[in-house]
């Protein structure tokens, strides 16, 4: 944490720090052991992540042509689609597509990332596996211009119907 | 002469029961006391508009609780919320569909000037609904309290009739 | 526009369908939602929601605002449960900055979030019944809601879009008037719920409008990522407060109401039961409210998060709301992604409403509990 010139706000009293009551996550404790990976039986390079620090349980970075296979396997595991989004890494010339999944019965948040070249941002759609991806992919296309190959209706979703700009790209100027 | 005195006496006797006024003033009074708003809540201000029409603040006292879903039946369009470029064509159509005489109340900071959603490089928000059509009353706030909406309606009534229904309460 | 479509099953003469627009200005869409409905008489052949009429670029603003400056935006995404949305954002920032939050802050956050949940459900209840044609419950619901708003206005200063939570704690402490007033509110709300049950839930017209209407299966919920009362009304007890516990919720004893039928009545009953459970949580939190500061120590004035991405999910009134912040060690985030429940909940409307009568489709849409700026952001 970059604590430049930390000044305690006025309302903090100068008492000793109260002990964490039972039930509270003690976020200051670091986990000595690596986080477990409940999806280790799948042929996807998942890694366990410290949930208290990051907010999800496992993540994997895969190649763009594997996202549909990953979606099919996670569908068999019973996971639900949370959201799909993109991140524009302008400096690296890549766009990252992030797929979030969650399990409806147990605490399992899965993040699948992939990187595609910024000059030709194309990736297959997972809409046949998860119909809910239809809208998320349309929104990602709206914001970043990522083309989802095989999508039945990649028209503007949140932007006006005649929009031809992609506003969340880092080189977008209104 | 006698006929004139007769007339004067008749008018004086009738004065408590018969009033004369200009038709314009009567029409203005009627319109002001029964402004029918168009149900056009777009965003957060719509909830305060609903609260103004609900039990505690009660727009029915001012004759304005009959929100009409159809613009053909509405007098006043209370634009409550942010107007963005995709919506601008639709809201202009609604304004055009309202029959004259019609008024517009811009409720909330977004309808006045784009509100908290204006920043350099913004691509979606119309900065103020008065860029689309003329506005009669601006009600600032984010969201304005239901009392502020009622004050805006009273201001509109004052604009119509020239008189204010309730005096402005001065804080002590 | 009349389109002739041949009947696919029996080879009967082609039906005529027409396209009608529901919205974007419509009393039953609860915001600016447009649904392009292809109708066969009164039956819905295809209902295609068109959104974007209140797109306010919240995610783009996240890249132009510092962490503290973005707080007012969080209230305006879903203004009816604004506290919970602010909670998710400050939770994500606090998780990334590894701030130790005092217990009093967590308890007050829970109390105010649950009060906000009750007020959101009351608005939903009034508006849903107005869709179905009953105008009276809205007046009762708003009366109760005003009491909650009085309590919250006393501590936050705002009625609808509170920016009460700060990064590291709260704006200010709650006073005795709030604690006493909340206790009284809980005491007088329970008989009101009984009145609502007698007035509405046991009403034969209401039951005929909703029972069996708009069934949504568990599989559909999973495939579309629907959460909140939609998934709990279809038999899956998914609630972020129980599955991924956050804040002070592990301390409290409450039930996740789940109903198996999956129809609009089940979703309605989930909402009403959640109000009961929220009252339970508020009572327990008031009883156990600890003393202490309301701000974490050593919150930096200039907040820069370490590079990486951080998520935080909460159970808002409409479902699972999650914030993902991607940081590159600057004062403003690199990317803020808002995962909103209503987008996923509405995405199944097209599939779920095929072949329904128009009033039933509107009952289904009302039971999904939509707030359109939540979809458009």
> Could you please report the per-residue DSSP string of chain A?
---SS----TT--SSPPPPPPTT---TTSPPSSPPP-TTTTSSS--EE--HHHHS-SEEEE--GGGHHHHHHHHHHHT-EEEEEEEEEETTTTEEEEEEEEE-SSSS-EEEEEEEEESSS-EEE--TTT-TTHHHHHHHHHHHH--EEET-S--S-SSS-TT----TTSTT---
Q: B47–C160: do the CB atoms touch at under 8 Å?
A: yes
Rounded-to-integer distance, Cα A13 and Cα A18, Å: 11
Residue B39 pLDDT more than 80? no
CB B53 within 8 A of CB B40: no
pLDDT of residue A13: 34
CB C244 within 8 A of CB C212: no
| CA nearest neighbour of C352 among C207, C201, C211, C230 | C230
CB C295 within 8 A of CB C301: no
Q: A22–C301: do the CB atoms touch at under 8 Å?
A: no
Q: B86–A165: do the CB atoms touch at under 8 Å?
A: no
Task: Tell me which chains share at least 3 CB pairs under 8 Å with chain A.
Answer: B, C
Length of chain A: 174
pLDDT of residue B66: 84
Q: What angle do CA A30, A33, A36 make, to 5 degrees?
A: 110
Q: What tokens appear for B57 in the block? A: 């603040």
Q: What is the chain C residue with the closest CA to B70?
A: C26
Within an 8 Å CB–CB cutoff, is residue C222 touching chain A? yes
Mean pLDDT of chain B: 89
Q: What is the chain C residue with the closest CA to B122?
A: C57
pLDDT of residue B68: 86
| CA nearest neighbour of C224 among A57, A59, A102, A153 | A102
Enumerate the residues of chain A whose CB falls inside 8 A of the CB of residue C224: 81, 130-132
- B111-120: pLDDT as tens digits: 999 888 988 8
The residues of chain C scoring below 70 in pLDDT are 1-14, 28-29
Adjacent-strand bridge partners of C15: C5
CB C156 within 8 A of CB C174: no
Adjacent-strand bridge partners of A81: A101
- The domains found in chain C, sorted by start residue, are 99-302+357-376 (1.10.645.10)
Within an 8 Å CB–CB cutoff, is residue C253 touching chain A? no
pLDDT of residue C14: 58
pLDDT of residue A34: 63
Taking phi first (over 0 means left), then psi (-120 to 50 degrees means alpha), and beta for anything else, what does residue B162 get? Answer: left
Within an 8 Å CB–CB cutoff, is residue A99 touching chain C? no
DSSP state of C175: -
pLDDT of residue C256: 93
- B6-27: pLDDT as tens digits: 888 888 888 788 777 889 888 9
Enumerate the residues of chain A whose CB falls inside 8 A of the CB of residue C330: none
pLDDT of residue A49: 86
CB C298 within 8 A of CB C248: no
Q: What is the chain B residue with the closest CA to A167?
A: B123
Q: Which of C51, C236, C351 has its CB closest to that of A157?
A: C51
Q: A15–C293: do the CB atoms touch at under 8 Å?
A: yes
pLDDT of residue A8: 41
Q: What is the chain A residue with the closest CA to B87?
A: A160
CA end-to-end span of chain B:
56
Q: B123–A160: do the CB atoms touch at under 8 Å?
A: no
Rounded-to-integer distance, Cα C134 and Cα C207, Å: 13
Q: Which helix (H) or strand (E) holds C118?
A: helix C103-132
CB B141 within 8 A of CB B52: no
Rounded-to-integer distance, Cα C25 and Cα C280, Å: 38
Residue A23 pLDDT more than 80? no
Q: C139–B54: do the CB atoms touch at under 8 Å?
A: yes
Enumerate the residues of chain B whose CB falls inside 8 A of the CB of residue C56: 43, 82, 84, 117, 124-125
Which pLDDT band, with edges at 50, 70 and 90, does A19 fall under?
A: very low
pLDDT of residue C141: 92
Mutation site, C324, C332, C352, C377, interface A, largest A CB count within 10 A: C324
Q: What tokens appear for B8 in the block? A: 């004067």
Rounded-to-integer distance, Cα C166 and Cα C59, Å: 19
Mutation site, B53, B58, B86, interface C, largest C CB count within 10 A: B86
CB C345 within 8 A of CB C226: yes
Task: Tell me which chains share at least 3 CB pairs under 8 Å with chain C.
Answer: A, B
| Number of other CB atoms surrounding residue B5 within 10 Å | 9
User: What value does the CA radius of gyration of chain C take, rounded to a whole number of Å?
Assistant: 22
Within an 8 Å CB–CB cutoff, is residue B123 touching chain A? yes
| CA nearest neighbour of C264 among C196, C350, C349 | C349
CB A166 within 8 A of CB A144: yes
Q: Which of C26, C56, C138 has its CB closest to that of B84?
A: C56
C76 min Cα distance to partner chain B (Å): 7
Q: What is the chain A residue with the closest CA to B88?
A: A160
Q: Which of A160, A172, A173 has its CB closest to that of B85?
A: A160
Better-scored residue on pLDDT, B45 or A13: B45
Q: Is the peptide bond before C271 cis (omega within 30 degrees of 0)?
A: no
| Number of other CB atoms surrounding residue B125 within 10 Å | 24
Q: C142–B50: do the CB atoms touch at under 8 Å?
A: yes
Model ipTM value: 0.89
Q: In degrees rounded to 5, what are phi and psi of residue B107? A: -105, 125
pLDDT of residue A30: 43
pLDDT of residue A14: 37
CB pairs under 8 A between A and C: 172
**Sheet containing strand A47-48, strands side by side:** A47-48, A58-61, A109-117, A94-102, A80-89
Mean pLDDT for the stretch of residues B47-69: 88
Enumerate the residues of chain C whose CB falls inside 8 A of the CB of residue B122: 57, 60-61
Rounded-to-integer distance, Cα A131 and Cα C180, Å: 49
- A134-171: pLDDT as tens digits: 999 999 999 999 999 999 989 999 998 888 889 989 88
Q: Is the peptide bond before C24 cis (omega within 30 degrees of 0)?
A: yes
Within an 8 Å CB–CB cutoff, is residue C335 touching chain A? yes
Q: What is the chain A residue with the closest CA to C300?
A: A6
pLDDT of residue A20: 42
Q: What is the chain B residue with the closest CA to C135?
A: B54
| Number of other CB atoms surrounding residue C92 within 10 Å | 27
Within an 8 Å CB–CB cutoff, is residue A7 touching chain C? yes
Q: A159–B121: do the CB atoms touch at under 8 Å?
A: no
């Amino acid at each position: 944490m970059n604590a430049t010139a930390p000044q305690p706000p006025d309302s903090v009293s100068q008492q000793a720090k109260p002990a964490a009551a039972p039930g509270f996550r003690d976020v200051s404790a670091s986990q000595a052991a690596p986080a477990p990976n409940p999806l280790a039986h799948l042929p996807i390079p998942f890694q366990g992540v410290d949930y208290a620090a990051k907010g999800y349980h496992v993540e994997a970075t895969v190649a763009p042509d594997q996202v549909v296979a990953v979606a099919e396997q996670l569908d068999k595991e019973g996971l639900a689609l949370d959201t799909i989004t993109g991140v524009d890494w302008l400096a690296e010339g890549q766009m990252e597509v992030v797929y979030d999944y969650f399990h409806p019965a147990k605490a399992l948040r899965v993040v699948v990332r992939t990187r595609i070249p910024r000059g030709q941002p194309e990736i297959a759609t997972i809409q046949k596996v998860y119909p809910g991806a239809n809208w998320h992919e349309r929104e990602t296309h709206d914001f970043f211009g990522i083309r989802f190959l095989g999508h039945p209706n990649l028209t503007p979703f949140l932007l006006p119907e005649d929009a031809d700009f992609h506003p969340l790209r880092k080189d977008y100027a209104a | 002469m006698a006929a004139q005195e007769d007339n004067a006496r008749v008018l004086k006797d009738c004065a408590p029961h018969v009033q004369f006024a200009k038709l314009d003033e009567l029409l203005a009074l009627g319109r002001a006391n029964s402004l029918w708003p168009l149900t056009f809540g777009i965003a957060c201000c719509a909830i305060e508009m609903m609260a103004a029409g609900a039990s505690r603040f009660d727009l029915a006292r001012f004759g304005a609780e009959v929100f009409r879903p159809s613009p053909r039946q509405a007098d006043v369009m209370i634009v409550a919320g942010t107007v963005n470029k995709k919506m601008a064509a639709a809201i202009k159509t609604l304004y055009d569909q309202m029959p004259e005489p019609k008024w517009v109340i811009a409720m909330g900071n977004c309808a006045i000037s784009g509100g908290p959603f204006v920043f350099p490089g913004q691509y979606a928000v119309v900065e103020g609904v008065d860029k689309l059509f003329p506005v009669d009353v601006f009600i600032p706030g984010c969201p304005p309290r239901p009392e502020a909406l009622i004050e805006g309606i009273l201001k509109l009534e004052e604009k119509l009739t020239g008189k204010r229904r309730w005096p402005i309460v001065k804080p002590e | 526009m009349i389109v002739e479509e041949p009947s696919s099953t029996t080879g009967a003469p082609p039906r005529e369908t027409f396209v009608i627009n529901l919205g974007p200005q419509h009393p039953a869409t609860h915001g600016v939602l447009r649904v392009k409905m292809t109708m066969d008489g009164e039956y819905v052949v295809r209902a295609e929601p068109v959104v974007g009429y209140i797109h306010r670029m919240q995610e783009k603003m996240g890249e132009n605002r510092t962490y503290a400056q973005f707080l007012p935006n969080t209230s305006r995404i879903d203004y009816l449960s604004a506290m919970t949305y602010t909670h998710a954002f400050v939770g994500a920032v606090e998780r990334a900055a590894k701030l130790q939050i005092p217990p009093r802050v967590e308890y007050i956050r829970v109390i105010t979030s649950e009060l906000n949940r009750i007020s959101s459900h009351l608005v939903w209840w009034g508006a849903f019944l107005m869709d179905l044609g009953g105008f009276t419950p809205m007046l009762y619901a708003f009366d109760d809601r005003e009491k909650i708003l009085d309590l919250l206005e006393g501590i936050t200063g705002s009625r609808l879009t509170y920016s009460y939570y700060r990064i590291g704690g709260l704006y200010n402490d709650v006073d005795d008037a709030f604690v006493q007033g909340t206790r009284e509110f809980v005491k007088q709300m329970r008989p009101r719920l009984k009145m609502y049950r007698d007035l509405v839930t046991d009403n034969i017209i209401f039951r005929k409008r909703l029972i069996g209407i708009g069934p949504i299966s568990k599989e559909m919920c999973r495939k579309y990522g629907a959460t909140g009362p939609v998934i709990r009304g279809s038999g899956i007890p998914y609630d972020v407060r129980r599955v991924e516990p956050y804040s002070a919720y592990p301390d409290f004893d409450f039930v996740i109401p789940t109903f198996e039928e999956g129809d609009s009545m089940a979703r309605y009953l989930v909402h009403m039961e959640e109000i009961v459970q929220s009252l339970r949580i508020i009572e327990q939190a008031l009883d156990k409210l600890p003393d202490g500061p309301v701000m974490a120590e050593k919150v930096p004035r200039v907040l820069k998060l370490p590079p990486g991405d951080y998520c935080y999910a909460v159970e808002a009134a409409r479902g699972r709301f999650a914030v993902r912040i991607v940081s590159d060690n600057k004062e403003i985030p690199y990317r803020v992604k808002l995962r909103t429940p209503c987008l996923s909940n509405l995405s199944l409307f097209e599939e779920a409403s095929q072949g329904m009568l128009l009033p039933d489709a509107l009952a289904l849409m009302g039971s999904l509990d939509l707030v359109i700026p939540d979809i458009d952001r």
